[in-house]
Structure 1
Amino acid sequence: MLIATVGVHVLDTHVIGIESIPDASDGQLVETIRFSPAGTAGGTAVVLSRLGAEVTSFGAVGTDPIADTLLALLAREGVSTAGLVRKAELQTSASVIPVRPNGDRPAWHCIGANGAFTLADLDLAALEGITHLHLGGPEFLGGEAAGQLLAHARSIGATTSLDVLAPGDPDMLAWIADALPHTDFLLPNDEQVLGFTGAATLAEGARALVAAGAGCVAVTQGAKGALVVTADDVLEVPAYEIEVVDTTGCGDAFSAGFLRGLSLGLDHRGAAELGCATAAQVAQGLGTDAGSYTLASVQAFAAR
């Protein structure tokens, strides 16, 4: 699996043990503070690499220490960062995520260089030979440019997938609509599907997205698992029972596991099971790069 992950790259700072924001200038001791590579392209890239794919990331970062840290973390995971351009006038995208004892995770986020990434920053010749292109955050490119990129990927024989970062809203769906006919696999969460379509059920909403052009819609449902919908079929795969530490990056992990499963020849159910099993690894630690797992260990976990 030779995959280009294109789009949003973020450095996450997780803070564990937050019960409240201290008053005035008071301080508070916490359990853990940890950096991790994240984003609908960056986080997915890390997990795909752990699952044995050969991954090159494309996107935009700044020239700041945040970028240095993010690039180092991606490289440590075996992700090629050759496709990441550096924009001196902008900071690297970053988030601070305080995780409460009950697992809630509000966030502060800076869009930074992600908002400045365009197709002009991507050398299409660098995509030659890929078997897959995953676009995370098409809303930053806009539907027309995203559609052009996905169409090019298909023209060179690659499978395409799309993961939207923004919350579900009909206007957002209209903004990225031009990309859907060039998308083999759309990977939203349940709130996005219902928000995009106004449907009463997830299955109905996913069917609407298939009707809008997506070949297959694989929807994450948090603790309920995943729903996979095509023009001909609807199937549901349950999540695995685990002790959840932090759900940050679980959607990206599902995407990586699902896509990797397809690359290995699994059917939609088998790929969704691998996606849920991969997400379970991430949920048991902090961030997308939590813990230590491989394709073999995730397959063993899924088969238990």
Structure 2
Amino acid sequence: MSKVIGMGNALVDILTRLQDDTILSDLNYPKGSMQLVDVKEVGNVLLATRDFPRNQASGGSAANTIHGLANLGIETAFFGKVGKDEWGEFFRSDLENRNIKPLLLESPSESGRAFALISPDSERTFATFLGAAVELAHHEVHEDIFNGYSILHIEGYLVQNRELIRHALQLAKSKGLTVSLDLASFNVVEDNLDFLHEMVENYVDILFANEEEAKAFTGLEDEKALHKISDYCDLTILKLGKKGSMIKRHDEVVQVSAIEVESLDTTGAGDLYASGFLFGMIHGLSIEKCGQIGSLLAGKVIEVIGPKMDDETWDTINKQVKAMMN
């Protein structure tokens, strides 16, 4: 069976539920965006949210997808960089507890953290302190880390280090891996548009994007954006939230509905959709069935706070996936 390696920013998510969006305005964060922040701004975020309940989980877009695949029984690894601190140890332990091979480099800098500010309508806005995660350098990515893996899943947030992502994609393709990319936040796409076009056209086989990211990437909306992106890569998945998803492979286009859920927090929804979709691909399912499994995982994760689900939920998911496969 195909093995998947993930590569991305190794972050610990600090999840905070807001009573309203006033704090987002006060911090000048566009709702639904991802802002890169420094240590000083971390203090501002902690001060602004001090009266709200919070909890933590290992995170980062690619790591969330790898966790989902591991919980579905796929053999996985994750490559990234953490600090020699409690946050880094928390991240490593979370990988090991799910039988994910931790390919983690260490730095004397603090580990990265992503502050997920969750609005009452379940939309989340991120203030991300990259810390040690951003110190991952292209010369630290050696071709042997890809040995034995069939798929590289990489997050668009890494475009903050263009030399790194170009080197990683070139190596993965030279080793014969299928490259899967999640575009990340719309503002990241806007700021790196030409570079992302180059990477997708030359190295990416599977691309995941939500509506805002697809619009930022193409200047178009919905199905028009889907068709435009498909000019660049073999398989395009447009995630449409409550409206489900649209998938295009060559001339085949399918639309998949979202499942009915009580949304609590959308953190990790797109990442877990990618888990389900890649799982289906690995098992040779139709793109429609892949999308249905993706929708199942995305729906289940937004019923909890954060990107992680408990063992009981995963047992239920695995039973449902098995039934869908049969």
TM-score of the pair, normalised by structure 2: 0.82
* C-alpha separation in 2, matches of 1:13 and 1:25: 14
Q: Contact 1:203–1:229 (CA<8 Å) still a contact in 2? A: no
Q: Are 1:38 and 2:59 counterparts? A: yes
1:191 corresponds to which of 212, 223, 226:
212
TM-aligned CA deviation for residue 112 of structure 1: 1.8
The structure-2 alpha-carbon separation of the partners of 1:301 and 1:66, relative to structure 1 and needing over 3 Å to count, comes to farther
1:118 corresponds to which of 133, 137, 156:
137
* C-alpha separation in 1, matches of 2:197 and 2:218: 12
Runs of at least 5 residues in structure 1 that lack an aligned partner in the other structure: none
What is residue 223 of structure 2 aligned with on the other side? 203
TM-aligned CA deviation for residue 2 of structure 1: 0.9
What is residue 71 of structure 1 aligned with on the other side? 92
TM-aligned CA deviation for residue 28 of structure 1: 3.5
The structure-2 alpha-carbon separation of the partners of 1:297 and 1:286, relative to structure 1 and needing over 3 Å to count, comes to farther
TM-aligned CA deviation for residue 164 of structure 1: 2.1
1:130-174 CA-partner distances (Å, limit 9, x unpaired): 1111111341342x6534433432333322101122325455221
Q: Contact 1:7–1:135 (CA<8 Å) still a contact in 2? A: yes
What is residue 43 of structure 2 aligned with on the other side? none
The structure-2 alpha-carbon separation of the partners of 1:29 and 1:228, relative to structure 1 and needing over 3 Å to count, comes to closer
What is residue 44 of structure 2 aligned with on the other side? none
What is residue 36 of structure 2 aligned with on the other side? none
Q: Are 1:61 and 2:82 counterparts? A: yes
TM-aligned CA deviation for residue 297 of structure 1: 2.8
Helix, strand or coil at the partner of 2:124: coil
* C-alpha separation in 1, matches of 2:199 and 2:50: 47
What is residue 109 of structure 1 aligned with on the other side? 128
- Within a 5 Å distance, the mapping from 1:108-147 to structure 2 comes to 108-137=127-156, 138-142=158-162, 145-147=164-166
TM-score of the pair, normalised by structure 1: 0.88
* C-alpha separation in 2, matches of 1:118 and 1:214: 26
- Within a 5 Å distance, the mapping from 1:150-165 to structure 2 comes to 150-165=169-184
TM-aligned CA deviation for residue 3 of structure 1: 0.9
- Within a 5 Å distance, the mapping from 1:1-304 to structure 2 comes to 1-16=2-17, 18-19=19-20, 28=51, 30=53, 33-81=54-102, 83-88=103-108, 90-137=109-156, 138-142=158-162, 145-168=164-187, 169-180=189-200, 181-199=202-220, 201-211=221-231, 213-292=232-311, 293-294=314-315, 296-299=318-321
Give the paired residue count.
295
Helix, strand or coil at the partner of 2:168: helix
* C-alpha separation in 1, matches of 2:260 and 2:79: 34
Runs of at least 5 residues in structure 2 that lack an aligned partner in the other structure: 27-46
1:166-206 CA-partner distances (Å, limit 9, x unpaired): 3254552212223212211001111000111111x322112
TM-aligned CA deviation for residue 298 of structure 1: 4.1
* C-alpha separation in 1, matches of 2:226 and 2:13: 30
TM-aligned CA deviation for residue 291 of structure 1: 2.8
Q: Contact 1:207–1:231 (CA<8 Å) still a contact in 2? A: no
Query: What letter corresponds to residue 183 of structure 1 in structure 2?
Result: V
Helix, strand or coil at the partner of 1:106: strand
The structure-2 alpha-carbon separation of the partners of 1:29 and 1:165, relative to structure 1 and needing over 3 Å to count, comes to closer
- Of all paired residues, the percent bearing the same amino acid is 23
Query: What letter corresponds to residue 207 of structure 1 in structure 2?
Result: H
1:215-248 CA-partner distances (Å, limit 9, x unpaired): 1110111111111123312221110001111110
Residues 180-189 or 7-16, more deviating: 7-16
The structure-2 alpha-carbon separation of the partners of 1:302 and 1:172, relative to structure 1 and needing over 3 Å to count, comes to farther
* C-alpha separation in 2, matches of 1:222 and 1:301: 24
The structure-2 alpha-carbon separation of the partners of 1:278 and 1:264, relative to structure 1 and needing over 3 Å to count, comes to same
What is residue 42 of structure 2 aligned with on the other side? none
The structure-2 alpha-carbon separation of the partners of 1:151 and 1:27, relative to structure 1 and needing over 3 Å to count, comes to closer
The structure-2 alpha-carbon separation of the partners of 1:163 and 1:26, relative to structure 1 and needing over 3 Å to count, comes to closer
The structure-2 alpha-carbon separation of the partners of 1:15 and 1:174, relative to structure 1 and needing over 3 Å to count, comes to same
* C-alpha separation in 1, matches of 2:80 and 2:154: 10
Query: What letter corresponds to residue 16 of structure 2 in structure 1?
Result: V
